[in-house]
Amino acid sequence: MADDRFHVYDTTLRDGAQQEGLNLTVVDKLAIARHLDSLGVGFIEGGWPGANPKDTEFFRRARTELDLKHAQLAAFGATRRAGVKAADDPLVAALRESGAPVVTLVAKSHDRHVELALRTTLQENLAMIRDTVSHLRAEGQRVFLDAEHFFDGYKSNPAYALEVLRTAAEAGASVVALCDTNGGMLPDELAEVVAAAVATTVRIGIHCHDDTGCAVANTLAAVKAGATHVQGCANGYGERSGNANLFTVVANLQLKRGFDLVPKEALADMTRVAHAITEVTNVTPNSHAPYVGVSAFAHKAGLHASAIKVDPNLYQHIDPSLVGNDMRMLVSDMAGRASVELKGRELGYDLSPDTSRVLVERVKELESKGYTFEAADASFELLLRDTVAVDRKRRHFEVESWRVIVERTRDGELVSEATVKLHAKGERIVSTGEGNGPVNALDRAVRLGLEKLYPELAAVELIDFKVRILEGTHGTDAVTRVLITSSDATGEWSTVGVDENIIEASWQALEQAVTYGLLRAGHIAD
């Protein structure tokens, strides 16, 4: 396992899974655990065995299906109930029998919670902690303790909150994590409380929620104050505003503070891991997430681009490759020549000053009409190719005409039918397609017509369709912008169309999407 002097503890499968709209199957949890292990975290909290069938099943399957290289599995649960011996409590038995080498117990450290939520005495709460920790330790499991509501408890009754820590440590808990359960702390006040806890000589961990937007900052402040165990969730998942984003915490500690937490090669895989986990959870990734977001190293303003052309570090706090990410140049109406030249270089073109100037003018002209190229890289590359090409607009096919009919049947069903007339490779093609909407019908008609000449189009599909009425327009004659995202077996790309007619705007984006798909397949335009 990882160095025990400092712990990276992931709680995605338990605390993160409490995020609204996030529902993980056992298979999902096993897959996420493998991704987290590949990152090199020290501990993966798998869930609460005994509390629900899914988590019990996860630990049963983990014994034979998880071959963890870096992490140890932790089972989460509560201390025994009041008035019951730990050895006789069925939920404690589930922890004991989970097969997990580590158990993380949650215990009350706020006096009011003990009396009002647990409905027991302060002394009995301490006895529950002592009995449960010592029992599990005697059974051979390592025990961590999550001191729930610790910071609020410390404000209410500091002596009792600290006594909870001492009791757990004396019973054999190797770490006590201070939980900002309500997420209301700020870094300066949190650091003071952590320092007071560290002074008790108990090994301290930190578990922060993000209700003030300070979960990562609070975690870093706790480490500076002496905590040597950090908890968090992949991509900041968690209930309400989420938990501390473990990826941001690890990157900050390793790259900014010099901690040796995960292997360098694993850190360089962090962006892939973050996005792989979003695929499992089916939660849209935060494009602006620090370090791992697709926009984390994206540059748009011309002033920035001019500086980056001289030295990328002038507007980047790290080399993106350290976390497996890439620098991206966004082309928009803010673009200057440097932005366009860098973007062209990124796409494999060494643009001359004259070509760059013409391309900048075209971008700004089109964006003034409503186009957006920062969200449609494929459309920009096609524009760049047209600008570079001597004869302009070299395409794989030419459009003679298209039409769409939308019919509402007697039983209320809507049927869309599209007909396109194209010219490609010396042939005139007339193709018809039906779909659940006019754009879907056009998409099918185009691909059905061209697939005989370009079989690779069978692998291309439209995966996202966004429509926006542009600002300053209204009514049925408003200018509409359509963004289409397409994919094939190896990646995705986005294209844009703008027109007063939504179908025409959609057609523009669709025509470009198909053209770009053919370029990706290696077809050179005639």
Q: Tell me the domain boundaries of the chain.
A: 7-280, 298-368, 398-520
How far apart (Å, rounded) are the C-alpha atoms in residues 3 and 5? 6
Lowest pLDDT segment from 320-324, 340-344, 412-416 = 340-344
With H, G, I as helix, E, B as strand and everything else as coil, classify residue 82: coil
Mean pLDDT of the chain: 88
> Which residue type, as a one-letter code, is found at position 454?
Y
Q: What is the pLDDT of residue 523?
A: 82
Calculate mean pLDDT across residues 80-107: 95
Model confidence at 355: pLDDT above 90: no
The DSSP 8-state label assigned to residue 262 in this structure reads S
Q: What is the pLDDT of residue 191?
A: 97
Calculate mean pLDDT across residues 19-37: 93
- Alpha-carbon radius of gyration of the chain: 29
Q: What is the pLDDT of residue 268?
A: 92
Question: pLDDT band at residue 349, thresholds of 50, 70 and 90?
Answer: confident
Model confidence at 220: pLDDT above 80: yes
Q: What is the pLDDT of residue 318?
A: 87
Model confidence at 41: pLDDT above 90: yes
Compute the CA torsion angle 429, 432, 436, 438 (nearest 10 deg): 60
Q: How many CB atoms lie within 10 A of CB 121?
A: 12
Question: pLDDT band at residue 391, thresholds of 50, 70 and 90?
Answer: very low
Question: pLDDT band at residue 300, thresholds of 50, 70 and 90?
Answer: low
- Which segments of 331-444 are extended strands (E)? 398-408, 414-424, 427-435
Model confidence at 379: pLDDT above 90: no
Calculate mean pLDDT across residues 264-268: 92
Model confidence at 390: pLDDT above 50: no
Assign a CATH topology to domain 7-280: TIM Barrel (3.20.20)
How far apart (Å, rounded) are the C-alpha atoms in residues 138 and 224? 33
Q: What is the pLDDT of residue 333?
A: 47
CA 344 to the chain's CA centroid: 28
Q: How many CB atoms lie within 10 A of CB 524?
A: 8
From residue 326, give the alpha-carbon distance in Å to each of 55, 286, 300, 493. 37, 16, 14, 16
How far apart (Å, rounded) are the C-alpha atoms in residues 95 and 79? 10
What residues contact residue 217 under an 8 Å CB cut-off, 6+ apart? 187
Q: Under a CB-based contact definition with an 8 Å cutoff, are residues 268 and 323 in contact?
A: yes
Model confidence at 395: pLDDT above 90: no
Calculate mean pLDDT across residues 387-411: 80
Q: Under a CB-based contact definition with an 8 Å cutoff, are residues 513 and 442 in contact?
A: no
Element (H, E) at 497: strand 492-499
With H, G, I as helix, E, B as strand and everything else as coil, classify residue 522: coil
Place of tokens 């910071």: 151
Of 169, 139, 164, residue with least CA distance to 149: 164
Q: Under a CB-based contact definition with an 8 Å cutoff, are residues 190 and 222 in contact?
A: yes
Q: Under a CB-based contact definition with an 8 Å cutoff, are residues 510 and 442 in contact?
A: yes
Model confidence at 331: pLDDT above 60: no
Of 338, 222, 228, residue with least CA distance to 4: 228
Exposure of 298 in the CB half-sphere (CA atoms within 13 A):
16
Please report, rounded to a whole number, the percentage of residues in the chain having pLDDT higher than 90: 62
Q: What is the pLDDT of residue 313?
A: 66
Q: What is the pLDDT of residue 388?
A: 77
CATH number of 398-520: 3.30.160.270
Model confidence at 14: pLDDT above 60: yes
